[in-house]
Amino acid sequence: MRLHADVLDEMEGEGEEGALMASAVLSPPLMGAAGAAATPPRLVVGYALTKKKVKSFLQPKLVLLARKNGISFVSIDVSLPLSEQGPFDVILHKITSKEWQQVLEDYHEEHPEVTVLDPPSAIEHLNNRQSMLEEVADLNLSNFYGEVCTPRQLVITKDPSSIPTAVAMAGLTLPLVSKPLVVDGTSKGHELYLAYDEASLSMLHPPLVLQEFINHGGILFKVYIIGETVQVVRRFSLPDVNAYDLLNSVGIYRLPRVSCAAATADGAELDPLIAELPPKPLLEKLGRELRSRLGLRLFNIDIIREFGSKDRYYIIDINYFPGVLGKCQDMSAYSPTSC
């Protein structure tokens, strides 16, 4: 079987997610048996995905290319015992129910030779925006390539009337981005708002996370981590908030979503200081650290560069098994959409 780099080359122009996923499937297992032999020349990949994810991911060209490389995709029926299906070399999944997670964990205990992308217990870290960024906050990536950190944030679990006082005590600076605390795989988990004034904060609906808004030149970097492969693309984001906005804007604004064609920033004429990609060594080091800390190998990181700074970056979200690039992206830097 060819190396995953060969497949990536052949997938160029066929859809970025397909290329990235081909790389993941052809990479060494994460949850395989200790000391297992190299991947056999024929792979059966069982997938348990939502209908929307199947439609966006299993494009005909990807299926054909996988078949050429000895990879077969087989649908898993979650209503039937997993032990009665297969056999599988790899299980690819994005179902968030507790029942499925338990089924998958039980199955892997019985079949440790099967690669699972990724362990349900590890994915859990990304289903809560408080725990999502805890690992990032502990990273020490300050070096000559740049500094990576997270925005200051506050978790509110109940009592909306207490939010203004909690924000004042935490010393957070308005405007604030409001995000649902739980990422549940639904559109509601991505309903995000921008709060400009203290009085409007009590109109929000906990449980939620409040993050300080950081001006970033309207550009977001989406960094895709697939095993040891790191790829980064530019996306348009929210415009910066200036002094006029702060003086003349009140209330809470829902962050807009636009068409994917409008969201892509690759190829656009941009200020080089804004559009310059983060240094590759920094992203590779970040990818290694997060793969190790999170126990995942199939995720993406949303990064912004602080406006006016050349090397100060903020991670604002981490997503498991991200959606198709260039086909359905959210414009907001604070709301990546899984299609």
Q: Residues at the annotated binding site?
A: 53, 94, 129, 179, 190, 211-222, 237, 302, 317, 319, 323
For Cα atoms 263, 265, 266, give the angle at the middle one, nearest 5 degrees. 130
Binding residue numbers for ATP: 94, 129, 211-222, 237
For the chain, the maximum distance between any two Cα atoms, rounded to a whole number of angstroms, is 64
Q: How far apart are CA 149 and CA 325, in angstroms?
A: 25
Angle ∠(185,333,231) on CA atoms, nearest 5: 85
Kindly compute the dihedral angle of the four CA atoms of residues 223, 227, 229, 232, in this order, to the nearest 10 degrees.
-10
C-beta separation of 130 from 155 below 8 A: yes
Annotated binding-site members for Mg(2+): 302, 317, 319
Q: Side chain identity at 94, as an amino acid letter?
A: K
Q: Is 271 helix (H, G, I), strand (E, B) or coil?
A: coil
CA geometry: angle 68, 92, 28, nearest 5 deg: 70
The rounded distance, in Å, linking the Cα atoms of 311 and 214 is 14
Question: CA 276 to CA 293: how far, in whole Å?
Answer: 28
Helices (H), the chain: 4-11, 16-26, 51-57, 60-68, 98-110, 120-123, 129-132, 134-137, 163-170, 243-248, 260-263, 272-275, 280-294
What's the rounded Cα separation, in Å, for the pair 144 and 156? 36
Binding residues for 1D-myo-inositol 1,3,4-trisphosphate: 53, 190, 222, 319, 323
Paired tokens of 335: 């709301």
Token pair of 67 as six digits: 């078949």
